[in-house]
Structure 1
Amino acid sequence: MASGNMKDIKRRIKSVQSTMQITKAMELVASSKMRRAKERALAARPYFNTIYQTITRLAAATRDNSSVYTRPREVKNSLFVVIAGDRGLAGGYNANLFKLAAAQMDGKNAQVITIGKKAQEHYAKRAWPVTQDYPGIAETMKISDTHEIVSQMLELFRGGAVDEVYLCYTRFISPLQQEPTCIQVLPARFDAQETEPASGPQVLTEYDPSPEAVFDAVIPEYLYGVLYGAVVESYCSEQSARRMAMEAASDNAGEMIENLNLSYNRARQAAITQEITEIVAGSGEVGA
């Protein structure tokens, strides 16, 4: 009986050790990908900051809401661009984002553009209609890859098919912290303080043919940068979440192996004690 129990424990130890090797390997791969993704995210920020400063100056010159991209509307239909991961085993990374997006969509007549395989699978089983799917593009994303998605967003918005556009992604704060976020990108809104002219002497900028025309031309470039930055940060967050999940899984596997080894040693000691007891009892009967 004890021998059979020992074999089961030994088999379980080997199984957990195999799983631990896999989780360790996945942790190393995620760490490597996270470093590269972090470099991409940091490299994209100067471009976004520059385009954002430009568009806020233009917004200050067009504060009468004459642009179709800033004019408030009665909201009847909404579009959500949801950026999730392409793979699982990343802790609560995907689930937390979907929960936030669902809270934002609650009570709205919403449709979805999905980026990432997990978003595609999630919304294929939900009531919200999916306008377009873009799985498997995050790892090799380039700024030019955003043009098709942004063009689709703008076409729906300008045509009146949707009255507002939200971007749902996971913001990378640190390797240990990622925050799911939903931001409204259309109609474009800017902080009133940012659009106020700074005090002191200012350089007078002349826009040709008009500030409104330049603003409308720059908006797509602004959205390219916003979408690219969101995809890059989401991918970096996914790898960070996966690294943490695999690290926790490896630690748990190590702890489980220690407990199984302890159980195995106890079972072996019990088996040895039982054999000694049987030998002593047998020798006593022979002596009698």
Structure 2
Amino acid sequence: MKEIKLRIKSVQSTMQITKAMELVASSKLRRAKERVEHSRPYFETLYTTLFDIANADSEFSSPYLAKREGHRRLYIVIAGDRGLAGGYNANILKAVAADAGDSDYCVLPIGKKTVEHFERRGVPLLTTAFAEAGSLSVSDCFEISRLVCTKFLAGEFDEIRLAFTQFVSMLTQTPSVLSVLPFDAPRPKPGHEHKSLMLYEPSSEAVFDAIIPEYLAGVVYGALCESVASEQGARRTAMDAATKNAGEMIDHLNLYYNRARQAAITQEITEIVAGADAEA
């Protein structure tokens, strides 16, 4: 009986922690969802502008559009700083492994779990300066964008891919791996260009090349917001399930405790009756 009571107290303490973590995740999730909604219009506007520039002229060229024959990839991988979020971290890391296959690749990790995972596997890391996902700001995303664009233009990587978790709903978070460079825009056939009403100075190529780093920074920031919201949603779901499991465990332990207590009382009554009969 004493062991069961200690076990009940231990589970109750754990349930209080999981309930508190669920409430904290719910509060953070609300703010994260607002960040996701506010970041999407910026990304959509930049993408539309780039698409229009690239689609307006069949002779338009840019180093950010050129598809290369090599297979040197850089993955920008966004995961969490902590665990206790269900399969959130494991799912995105598995998605990167499946997308990369047996090819050699380099990783720019965002999130402490990402750094730990790829360091254990001996995957080369471009930098660990952005290892803490929770402290990244918009300026950090622009710094990441400038670094990645410089490496891409220098020819160190042939393709840049972004791995993050897309926030669909409170219960659904989908790992995604997107190719961000070279920029994928359908090119018009000669003679089928659409007339653009925009006049770009000094030239459409210069404007396009200047917008790409801004676009990539917006994509990284949007992916970061999506990933943070997904992490909080996954943690809230995991802690809610843990709280419910703890409640069920306490009910079972109370049942076992009552059975043991009843058995002890029955044994005491039996001993008293047996002693009374022996004296008689």
TM-score (norm: length of structure 1): 0.91
**2: distance between equivalents of 1:252 and 1:169?**
30
Structure 2: any 5+ residue segments left out of the alignment?
A: none
**1: distance between equivalents of 2:119 and 2:173?**
25
Question: When the two structures are aligned, how many residues end up with a matched partner?
Answer: 276
Q: Which residue of 1 aligns with 2:170?
A: 175
Structure 1: any 5+ residue segments left out of the alignment?
A: 1-5
**2: distance between equivalents of 1:191 and 1:29?**
44
Q: Which residue of 1 aligns with 2:255?
A: 262
Runs of 4+ in 1 over 4 A off after TM superposition: 62-65
| CA-atom RMSD in angstroms | 1.7
Q: Which residue of 1 aligns with 2:21?
A: 26
Q: State the shift of 1:210 in Å.
A: 2.2
SS at match of 2:127: strand
**1: distance between equivalents of 2:135 and 2:173?**
21
**2: distance between equivalents of 1:68 and 1:100?**
28
Q: Which one is further off, 74-83 or 93-102?
A: 74-83
**2: distance between equivalents of 1:175 and 1:115?**
23
Q: Which residue of 1 aligns with 2:54?
A: 59
Q: Which one is further off, 143-152 or 178-187?
A: 143-152
SS at match of 1:124: helix
**1: distance between equivalents of 2:237 and 2:276?**
59
1:55-94 to structure 2, matched below 5 A, reads: 55-64=50-59, 66-94=61-89
Q: State the shift of 1:141 in Å.
A: 3.5
Does residue 219 of structure 2 align to residue 223 of structure 1? no
Q: Which one is further off, 232-241 or 56-65?
A: 56-65
SS at match of 1:80: strand
SS at match of 2:134: coil
Contact 1:114–1:120 (CA under 8 A) maintained in structure 2: yes
- In structure 2, give the amino acid aligned to 1:68: P
Contact 1:62–1:212 (CA under 8 A) maintained in structure 2: no
**1: distance between equivalents of 2:267 and 2:186?**
78
Query: Which of these residues, 107, 112, 124, is aligned with residue 107 of structure 2?
Result: 112
Q: State the shift of 1:58 in Å.
A: 1.1
**1: distance between equivalents of 2:210 and 2:58?**
16
Identical positions, percent? 55
Change in 2 beyond 3 A, CA 1:9/1:65: farther
Residue deviations 1:133-178 (CA, integer Å, cap 9, x gap): 2122x33443222122111111211111110010000001111111
Q: Which residue of 2 aligns with 1:3?
A: none
